[in-house]
């Protein structure tokens, strides 16, 4: 058991942002289920953990529990709720990571979750259909995940996925189909808040893709906020007489430009290899080709 836990820890430490987000969501789900079982066994019904981690529709209560704007996007009600969200996050997260950094994915996840929560609160306090409903709480990563789906789908709409019985389908069609389903479900009394939040997350992802194509990254401020938050929990390094040179974070624009340049070099080497054979390559070209084959 100890070895299994250690392997999980290692997997989390070395995994991508997508892997870490999935780990966090699954861990929170397990913890809440254990707490629920304990509460049931000891007849503790006065306290519902969801009321402290789910985002409330009542603005006054939200102001007293402002942390729920973040915590709700890591909480799931049932196993299927968790499973489908994590599958969507894994599939589209892998595609997203081919064009952006994990830093951007994590920031858009939080930004999409916030957009979903805010639209949920606004809708349940302004739209007559929702204002007549009983006050409640919302949980789930769907809005955050939808922002990833819409973000990569509208940034690279020509990418295709092979779907069962349908064959190759462009991811933008999948994203639009999911959005339409949520929109048509807005009047459904089952999970009304969830569908509203999905719309908010989807709009955040679409806005991200549109602005990014115009060389504007709307997640940059969120990345800075996350860095600041994480820094508060890191132990301060002891001062020493040694001078330490800190590497500057590579921006997404620099990352994408570097990857594009590297791909152009590899394509040129492959063309040369096809025309003149392996012996025609220089030592540097052989090294680059070898390094690319390992990625």
Instruction: Cite the DSSP H helix spans in the chain.
Output: 2-14, 17-41, 50-53, 59-64, 68-71, 79-96, 102-126, 128-131, 142-155, 171-184, 192-213, 220-232, 252-276, 283-293
Pick from 3-12, 66-75, 254-263, 276-285 the range whose average pLDDT is largest: 66-75
Query: Can you tell me the distance from the alpha carbon of 171 to that of 149, in angstroms, rounded to the nearest whole number?
Result: 8
pLDDT, residue 247, reads 46
Identify the residue with better confidence: 68 or 6.
68
Asked if 107 contacts 223 with a C-beta cutoff of 8 angstroms, the reply is: yes
Range with lowest mean pLDDT among 154-163, 215-224, 278-287: 278-287
Query: Can you tell me the distance from the alpha carbon of 252 to that of 209, in angstroms, rounded to the nearest whole number?
Result: 13
Tell whether the model's pLDDT for residue 90 goes beyond 90: yes
228-287 pLDDT, tens digit each: 888 887 655 545 444 544 445 555 656 666 776 777 788 788 877 777 777 777 878 877
pTM of the predicted model as reported, rounded to 2 decimal places? 0.80
Q: Which of 214, 234, 220 is nearest to 108 (CA)?
A: 220
């Amino acid at each position: 058991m100890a070895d299994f836990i250690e392997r999980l820890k290692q997997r989390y430490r070395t995994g991508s942002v997508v892997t870490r987000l999935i780990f966090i969501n699954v861990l929170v789900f397990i913890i809440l289920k254990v707490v629920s079982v304990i509460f049931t066994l000891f007849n503790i019904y006065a306290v519902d953990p969801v009321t402290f981690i789910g985002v409330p529709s009542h603005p006054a209560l939200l102001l007293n529990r402002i942390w729920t704007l973040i915590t709700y996007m890591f909480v799931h009600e049932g196993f299927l709720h968790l499973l489908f969200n994590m599958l969507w996050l894994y599939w589209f997260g892998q595609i997203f990571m081919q064009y952006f950094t994990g830093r951007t994915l994590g920031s858009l996840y939080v930004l999409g979750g916030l957009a979903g929560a805010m639209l949920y609160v606004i809708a349940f306090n302004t739209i007559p259909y929702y204002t007549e409903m009983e006050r409640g709480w919302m949980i789930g990563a769907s809005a955050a995940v939808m922002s990833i789906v819409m973000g990569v789908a509208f940034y690279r709409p020509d990418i295709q996925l092979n779907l069962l019985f349908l064959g190759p389908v462009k991811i933008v069609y999948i994203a639009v189909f999911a959005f339409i389903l949520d929109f048509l479900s807005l009047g459904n009394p089952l999970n009304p808040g969830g569908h509203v939040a999905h719309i908010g997350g989807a709009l955040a992802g679409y806005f991200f893709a549109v602005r990014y194509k115009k060389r504007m990254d709307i997640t940059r401020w969120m990345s800075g906020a996350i860095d600041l938050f994480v820094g508060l929990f890191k132990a301060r390094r002891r001062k020493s007489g040694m001078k330490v040179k800190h590497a500057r974070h590579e921006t997404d624009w620099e990352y994408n430009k570097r990857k594009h340049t590297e791909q152009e070099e590899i394509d040129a080497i492959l063309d040369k290899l096809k025309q003149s054979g392996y012996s025609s390559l220089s030592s540097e070209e052989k090294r680059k080709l070898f390094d690319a084959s390992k990625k």
